[in-house]
Amino acid sequence: MNGTAASCDLCVRIARTERGENPFSVARTTTGYVNLGDIQYHEGYTIFVAKRCVNELHELAKSERNAYLREMAVVAEAVFHAFKPRKLNYELLGNGAPHLHWHLFPRHAGDRRRGARSGVTRASAGLSPAVRCRRRKTWPGCVVAYWRPSTTPT
């Protein structure tokens, strides 16, 4: 772990998920955690966080890295099927939170700022808490429906 769990925001969120205290938690996988974004920049904005706290993808052992990337692709497929965007954008950054995680931004035809870079602005419409809750309840089934037998969620 790069630092202590108390100093890493994503490690703190993982601990909250494990205690059942993360209202945005959708699913656990073998290598990570699926969460709806706290702020829905775009309807269905999802974050896939690695279980292990590392800064860079290459810091994972090859087998773990391959499994994480396979699972990320399955999570992305589930996001696509659950939210039916016209385009799904992917980001793996880490300069804001040095814990390996992917941002998945479903882009819809009705996005207010069609040309805006994903996640940079709050100008695009967010989901109401009621809609977010309704989506969250149907989301895990979608993740499981698109899961490959070789990467069964934990």
Domain residue extents for the chain: 5-151
Looking at 3.30.428.10, 3.30.750.24, 3.60.15.10, 3.40.190.10, the CATH number of the domain 5-151 comes to 3.30.428.10
Q: pLDDT tens, 34-86?
A: 999 888 878 899 999 999 999 999 999 999 999 999 999 999 999 999 989 99
Q: pLDDT tens, 94-132?
A: 888 999 999 999 999 877 664 555 443 333 344 444 444
Which tokens sit at 80?
């696509």
Half-sphere exposure (CA, 13 Å, Cβ side) for 48?
23
**89 near 52, Cβ under 8 Å?**
no
pTM, two decimals, is: 0.74
Partners of 47 in the β-ladder: 35, 103
Which residues are within 8 A (CB) of 118 and not within 5 positions of it... i.e. 6 or more apart?
41, 42, 89, 91, 103, 105, 107
